[in-house]
Structure 1
Amino acid sequence: DLLHGRGTGGLFLNWQSGYGASFLPDLGTYLGSPFALLVALFPRDRIDLAVYVITLLKTAAAGAVMAQWLLTLRPGRWWAAGALGASYALCGWSLAEASYNPMWLDGLIALPLLCLVGHRALAGRWFALGALPVALVWVANFYTAYMATLGAVLILLTGLLVDHAPGGGPPLRRLAPLGRPVARLAGVLALGVGLAAPLVSVVFLGTRHAYPGRVVEFTPKPWTDVLARLLPGTYNFSSPAVYVDTVALLLALTLPFNPAVPRRLRGGWTLLVAAVTLSLQWGPTQLAWHAFSVPNGSQYRETFVLGGLLVTAAWLSFAHGMPGRRPLLAAGALLAAIAAAASRATELIRPWTYPLLLAGVAAVAAALLLARLARRHRHPLPAALAVVLLIGAQVGQSAATTAVADRLRLGHLDDYAPWGQRQRTQSELIAEADGWPRYRTDPGREQTVGNDPLLVGGQGAQYYSSLTSDVLSRTMTALGGGWTSRGRSVQSLDNPVTDAIFSVGARVHSPPDPHQDWQAPTGAEPYVTRQVVPPLVTLRPDPKRPPAFGPSPFRNQELLLGARVYTLPRDVAVRGADGRPAARTPDGGYRLPPGPTKRSRPKALLTATCPRDSQVFLWAPHYWGVAAMRGAGRPPVGFRGDHPVTKIAPMQPLGAAPASGRVEVVLTVQKGGTVPAGSIGCLDPARLRAAVDRLRAQGATEVHVSDTGIRAKLPPGSRGIAVVAAPRIAGWRCAAGDGRHRPADGYLGLLAVELDTSATSVDCAFRP
């Protein structure tokens, strides 16, 4: 949309996501790659095809650049370099980790590209020109470029030490001749990173204001798990994806035993591979690989560097001459030892792991026999068959490993539907209801992807990014919002009070996405609801003391709205199916344990008393199950909250309270959790309408938004604080009337401007 001029916002501001988010850090994190520009060539409704094509092109580019690096490192047969380049492009990290994070594939390209640049820099060539590829890979994805730079430096320094054997004398004198080429290498890398600094610095500063998520101390996986991931057909989210196909792995294992390779080269590269492997399992070096920031998710994101080292080791052994019988037997014995040790990792080994491994070994053995036959009879056909056999084994093992990873990944990650009728319908409904910037149109609570506003249009709370702001996540959590990805994927909140606060005048309601199988589909058709809401800029009285959120999201909503609209019942109680009170938590809530089996669905009954015809809302952020209010005539609503906290469930509407006022909510427990003592809120629609009318009467008369800020005209005599319905993220500067711009104020997490007696307008400008 941005490339075609259809986006709501621009390079600086994204008005569609998170009620107003900084876009430039996201651009540098996810869309800095030159390959990303190719999406402009595809129709909007074929975005899935665009991502698929770009993923293939990046993978192919990584293989091609690696093949070129191998031939530069040591001349040899082009087809072997190409095959090993493909081994690198199809390594376990690429198949299991980067395939669903396409921006990481730029790091896969960066490693061999930086090796090529550094190789020429060490030789005294490409100093100024070499800085351009360095800058390009750092702009494309600085996170994996950092890891690739570390890996390339280790590779190049190892090669320098191996190729330039220092003479006798003191250590400093022996190493002195290496100072000049090392300085050239450092210079070209520093110049390239400096060229990328304007964008990289914005991304870095964005990480300082991002929600921290849940910091997990690094715990190394058992070595049996690490060894198991070297084999085909294994997968586990939390272990290092170090797989390379058996052909490349077997060749790499021959390097220490291949007498055709010079001893210094064998020793240096064997030590390098061993050192990098060990660094994956030690906390301090793990932290160094990840730029001294604990990753929020997979903790082995640097394993593509080890994949590159294994492939390079395989090439060095092969390019110095086909390994003989003894190196092959030694490598085979080492591979057998790895396979035997890996057998203890029972959670990783699949029924097809060892058959795939044996098939790869058999392919290597058959290829060796064919190669010997070709040499004996001087005929190219057996040699060609050997190459086809090896490449076939490589492709087959990698395809099987991909299939295993794709299937098992869905057990712990969300499944997202490709573009189809659901997205087309949502997009059409949003386009019809759109009234931006008079009001927002939210794509709805039942999300399809993590960034529905960007996919189907509209302007909502939903926002996923590694740079999701701390203020947005904490503000929405305080208001009863939900999130996944440890707080970095904020979800839409279906609530009329927060809709009034954030000027959401239209909201799409869709049935659950059938790809999200945790909740049964309802078969309902998507529809739009509308409500009268205040403008984007409203007034609040100047408080004597800065307000602060408390533990109740219902009271927090009222605090931000400026009116009391909820009744909070004091008689909330939860009983099990046997009628006994549920166990209490230390903070007074109720504990709902799961059933004895995965298919068990124990029931519980939550009761409370609400005023007649009030709208009942349930807040249970750490409950995983379903809730339905008796007599409401509405389908059950799902909650997904876990512990330790990777996701919390948002507040959900249950329906109107009956005439008797007795609210009975049936809880169908799936994975269990807790329900707070203050879990029920009873909303008075009349009070909410009165509060909205007051905010509208005092709100802005005109609002203008752009990709760099927001301007609003206020009624004459406006006093107090002008509150903009957007999170107070870093980068905002505001002015009241004709005053000077200064860093913006905050009001309970929202953007605010203090007014003087003469101000009839506010102007806020944004710079990341």
Structure 2
Amino acid sequence: MNKKMSQVLAYLGAFFLPILIVIGVFAGRGIAPLGGHNLLVSDLATQYFPFFNFLRTQLHNGGISTYSFLFSLGDNTIPVYTYYLMSPLNLLVFFVKSAQIPLLMEAIIMIKIGLISLSMVIFLRVKEHAVNWRQLVAGVAYGLCGFVAMYFYDFMWLEALMVLPFLTLAIDRLFKKEKWGWYTFTLLVGIILNYYMGYMLCVYSVIYFVYLFILQQPQTMKFWSFVRTRKAVLVKYIGSSILGGALSAFLLVPTLVGMLSTGKGNFDWTSFLPIFRFLPSDLLSFGVGATNFVGRLNHEPSLFVGSFFALGMLIFWLSPQIKRQEKRASLWLVGAIFVGMLIATFDTVWHMFQMPAGFPFREVYMLSFVMIGFGYQAWRRGAFSQLAIVKKAAVILAGLITLGYLSAFVEIRVARAFHWATPFYVTSYWNWLIALLFILVTVAVIGISKRDVRWWPLLLVVVSLEMGTNFWLALGGTHEYGNQSQFVQKYERSAQLVQAAQNQRQFTRLDVNNQLYVHNFNINYNQYNDSLLFNFYGVNSYTSSLNVHTHDALTKLGLYSRNERRVSVRGLTPVTAQLLSVGRQVNISRTGKMQLHTNPQLTGVGYAVAPTLDQLHLVNNDVYGNLNRLFQSESGSKALVFHPNPAQVLRLQKQRGQYRYRVRVTAQTTGMQYLDLQRVSPNQQLQIKVNGQALASRYPQNGAELIELGHRQQGDQLTVQFMSNRKLTKQDLKTTFASYQGDAVERFSQATVPYQLQVDDPARLALHGNQFTAKVKTTTARPVVLLSIPYDQGWTITDGQKPVKMKKAVNGLAQVRLTPGTHRLTFRYQTPGLKVGVLISLLGLVGTLLASWWWRKKRTVRRDAK
């Protein structure tokens, strides 16, 4: 076999071997392509599938819109694309039907795992200047490391694992040969593929660059003295890093501006406290099955790289065949990443100065990469030949894993005793024995391959088996996987029903309760992004790029939000239905029967209101007051529509830190009765009973939205049972219950019909929401047009040829003031920061050309001098 053919086969093996392992694991779990289940769980169901369908819709309609009204009330789409959808592999969605996207996502996950393994093999081939079949062992370990097993549900991050080996090679090349172009290009690619992980790669590049200085530092020279001797390479590193960032600015700047308009723009200083992020129990993650699907959102760092490379890292430090300076440098590289996760201050910096909400320690894959790299070095340089050191490393590794399990046992019981939340989920203590067994088998195979080198493929078998076992265990602990054939039927039927329920002639938002589609899932599915799946205008949204103005305005008016990434139509009242133009309620039963309730008065993306709207300011923790203020300011009246209900505590019990209330409430007016627990019990699953009957709800009531208690007559008494996180004061009780009296709202809604802002082509907003025209009538009594669009500086509005200034209203929505008459307004959206970003990228391109000329010129001068 010639050298070229051997290299091709090695690359094919690196790509396909981990894919075959994943296919085998999926088949064992009954997951497609060899099973009937799909992976519509976690973020794959609630975010990626809707975003993929949105991308598919955009591609099939010939363009990418920078603004869409399918994202809640409307939002900038650039942050969604740059955070979730920049992988070239995602373009495959163009070629599949919407109902087949779950299978495509599984295929993309497997392709990415294969590419991660291949990237490691290419890295080692370049480092060794030769193809070696043993590199496959490292490729499999990297492609199926603990990070991949626990985080593949968020597969937008997997590109970073492919880029990391190439970035490392590029930094090596820059340091040793002063060739900087590959480094700039690799950094640029990493940032473009996912700016969040690209930022982490920038932090890694600094740590690795320092590692190279420590590694190459002469023993006779102090560190900073050596740095001064390499001033030229330091200048090139800093300059090329800046150029890489500048070249990506055309995406980075508008994304940054967009993300600053989300709730993530707020910093929590407590996350920077220098406290430990995890405890010794994390040591058990060196063994198989440390966590599984149940613990995916809250767990300690996934350190798993397999027994062979965990031993290799220890052998690298223990073996006399490895130079002391190499060990010292490796301690810096491994230690900097590890301490960066351990100390909250550094971990927050790693995560772009925001502590992650779920899927923590997202930088841990870098530690996996360097551990595998050092372990492979120890193997190739013969450090494994000393069985005494191998056995010593095995004892240490087994001891660390055992210590981890003992610590977990103690930590969990202490946490339970003090009612603390435990961030770590141990799948099974039996996995400790499995981990020790793999260490024992690995040591035995190392011994066999030492006696006869031809037996080294046994190591590939053992490593593949261990990595596959860990992947299998990581997929366990749940019965939430979906049924693909059932999903296809229910999805396609839901798409037909929702399409039939839409108003094609006028803009109106839908409140869709699709139980047919909800029962596709074995998870608590909240329909956050269903508007992206079925192409309708709604209120719900779940995305890391949710506009903070949307979030703040709606939550202050009683709509549900679990955190700054989510908002829901739950908690809707007639006042907010008017504000948001929610004119249709669509109920689809589990059997596919649809009920449609239409309010033809609620159409348009806005309506003209009284000038007193300028005086409106919503306040925290006063939902009923805010709803009254909103109605009074838009209508110009003094009518109250929400009236406090007196409440008398009948019984109060305290259980496990929560207060259980039984309260008698008297309805002050005839109408719908409401309960507000946002101040005292947000996001706590409540068990609410009214007159002894459990309150019916499409989702579990969580206390973070206005809750309907039913329609009652004036003077009726209700007995309400609920839970609270804290003891209610008398003032709390006065503002917890209220009656809605809607006569004034209905009259205002009727009177508003002639003053609605009607879009010329409402269906177009789904695909091309960045530009539209609309007509509205204003009068002296109604000079302000209140828009159900989040305030965003990217909008420019013209009335004919005359510019109109958009102002903030209702703490986050938008308004414009017009002269009396009929107006045709043109709305245009320019992504904030895009022009500046393009300009910086052009300057970066010019800078790259100048740097290439200048540094080439200086190198030529040096050669001539020689």
- Return the TM-score normalized by structure 1: 0.84
For 1:270 and 1:138, the matched residues in 2 are separated by 27
1:307-706 residue pairs with structure 2 within 5 A?
307-323=368-384, 324-342=386-404, 343-346=406-409, 347=412, 348-349=425-426, 350-375=428-453, 380=454, 382-403=455-476, 419-435=487-503, 437-444=506-513, 448-484=526-562, 486-493=563-570, 494-510=572-588, 527-532=595-600, 533-543=602-612, 546-550=615-619, 551-561=621-631, 562-563=634-635, 567-573=641-647, 575=649, 580-582=650-652, 593-594=654-655, 604-612=662-670, 614-621=671-678, 622=681, 624-627=685-688, 629=690, 635-636=696-697, 639-641=700-702, 648-658=703-713, 661-664=715-718, 666-667=720-721, 677-700=734-757, 702-704=759-761, 705=765, 706=768
1:136-181 CA-to-partner distances (Å, cap 9, x unmatched) read 220111111221232244234423542x443756765543443333
Say which is worse superposed, 708-717 or 748-757, in terms of deviation.
708-717
CA distance in 2, matches of 1:141, 1:261: 36
Return the alpha-carbon distance in structure 2 between the equivalents of residues 603 and 195 of structure 1: 59
Equivalent position SS for 1:242: coil
Q: Distance in 2 between matches of 1:295 and 1:595?
A: 28
Alignment of 1:670-749 (within 5 A): 677-700=734-757, 702-704=759-761, 705=765, 706-715=768-777, 717=779, 719-742=782-805, 744-749=807-812
Q: What SS is found at the alignment partner of 2:303?
A: coil
Give the CA deviation at 1:122: 3.4
1:491 partner letter? S
Q: How big is the shift at 1:452?
A: 1.8
Candidates 124, 140, 143, aligned match of 1:70: 124
8 Å contact kept, 2:667–2:673: no
The alpha carbon displacement at 1:716 in A equals 6.5
1:268–1:542 CA distance, 2 compared to 1 (3 A): same
Alpha-carbon deviation of 1:478?
A: 1.1
Alpha carbons of structure 1 residues 745 and 292: separation in structure 2 relative to 1, 3 Å:
closer
**Correspondence for 2:248:** 196
Tell me the secondary structure at the aligned position of residue 507 of structure 1: strand
- What residue number does 1:282 align with? 343
For 1:63, give the aligned amino acid: S
Flag the structure with more relative contact order, 1 or 2, with Cα contacts below 8 A and sequence separation at least 6: 2
Segment of structure 1 superposing worse, 124-133 or 289-298: 124-133
Cα pair 1:625 1:671 within 8 Å, conserved: no
Contact 2:673 2:711 in 1 (8 A): yes
Is the CA contact 2:121–2:135 (under 8 Å) kept in the aligned structure 1? yes
2:851 alignment partner in structure 1: none
Report if the CA contact (8 A) 1:442-1:453 is conserved: no
Shift of 1:125: 7.6
Which amino acid in structure 1 is aligned with residue 442 of structure 2?
V
Decide whether the 8 Å contact of 1:717 with 1:760 is kept in 2.
no
Q: Please say if 1:226 is aligned against 2:279.
A: no
- Aligned partner of residue 483 in structure 1, secondary structure: coil
Aligned residue for 1:280, secondary structure, equals helix
User: Hey, what's the Cα distance between the residues in 2 that align with 1:241 and 1:54?
Assistant: 22
Match for residue 53 of structure 1 among 107, 111, 117: 107
The Cα of 1:284 is off from its aligned counterpart by: 3.5
Structure 1 window deviating more from structure 2 (303-312 vs 694-703): it is: 694-703
Q: Deviations over 1:605-650 (max 9, x none)?
A: 54221434x2333333326324354599983565543xxxxxx532
Residue pair 1:626, 1:636 contacting (<8 A) in 2 also: no
Identify if the C-alpha distance between structure 1 residues 76 and 603 changes in structure 2 by more than 3 Å, giving closer, same or farther: farther
C-alpha distance in 1 between matches for 2:397 and 2:805? 65
Question: Counterpart of 1:291 in structure 2: which amino acid?
Answer: M
Which residue of structure 1 lines up, in the alignment, with residue 417 of structure 2?
none
Which position in structure 2 is the counterpart of 1:155? 208
C-alpha deviation, 1:311, in angstroms? 1.0
- Cα distance between partner residues in 2 of 1:764 and 1:510: 34
- 2:501–2:586: 8 Å Cα contact kept in structure 1? no
Gaps (5+ residues) in structure 2?
1-53, 413-424, 516-524, 832-866
472 and 14 in structure 1: CA distance in 2 versus 1, 3 angstrom threshold: same
- Asked whether 1:207 is paired with 2:285, we answer no
**Contact 2:609 2:786 (C-alpha < 8 Å) held by counterparts:** yes
Q: 2-side partners of 1:528 and 1:673: how far apart? A: 41
- Is residue 823 of structure 2 the alignment partner of residue 767 of structure 1? no
Once residues 726 and 314 of structure 1 are traced to their aligned partners in structure 2, the CA distance between those partners, rounded to angstroms, is 55
Q: Distance in 2 between matches of 1:500 and 1:766?
A: 25
Aligned pair count? 719
Measured in 2, the distance between the counterparts of 1:424 and 1:536 equals 29
Q: Indicate the percent of aligned positions where both proteins have the same amino acid.
A: 17
- Assess if the C-alpha contact under 8 Å between 1:367 and 1:390 holds in 2: no
User: What are the superposed Cα offsets for residues 316-350 of structure 1, whole Å, 9 maximum, x if unpaired?
Assistant: 11121251213212312321331242122214553
Matched position secondary structure for 1:713: strand
CA distance in 2, matches of 1:476, 1:8: 33
SS at match of 1:616: strand
Contact 1:567 1:610 in 2 (8 A): no
Q: Does 1:111 align with 2:174?
A: no
TM-score by length of 2: 0.75
Q: Structure 1, residues 168-213: CA drift from partner, whole Å, max 9, x if none?
A: 5676554344333343344443322222111111121122211147
Higher helix share: 2
Q: Do the aligned residues in 2 keep the contact of 1:723 with 1:753 (CA within 8 Å)?
A: yes
Q: CA deviation at 1:257?
A: 1.6
The 8 Å contact of residues 442 and 506 in structure 1, kept in 2 or not, is answered as: yes
2-structure distance, mates of 1:610, 1:445: 34
* Greater displacement, 557-566 / 14-23: 557-566
Separation in 1, partners of 2:469, 2:329: 32
Deviation at 1:482, TM superposition (A): 0.8
RMSD (Å) for aligned C-alpha atoms: 3.5
Tell me how far apart the structure 2 counterparts of residues 720 and 626 of structure 1 sit (CA, whole Å).
46
- The separation in 2 between residues aligned to 1:633 and 1:393, in whole angstroms, is 48
Partner of 1:740, secondary structure, is: strand
Which residue is equivalent to 1:517? none
What secondary structure sits across from 2:685 in the alignment? strand
SS at match of 1:57: helix
Distance 1:131 1:107, change over 3 A: same
Name which of structure 1's ranges 251-260 and 542-551 shifts more when overlaid on structure 2.
542-551
Shift, 1:374, TM fit: 3.0
CA contact (8 A) 1:248 1:314 kept: yes
Q: Give unmatched runs, 5+ long, in structure 1.
A: 512-521, 583-591, 642-647
Question: What does residue 514 of structure 1 align with?
Answer: none
Letter in 2 for 1:434: Q
2:596 aligned counterpart, secondary structure: strand
Counterpart in 2 of 1:587?
none
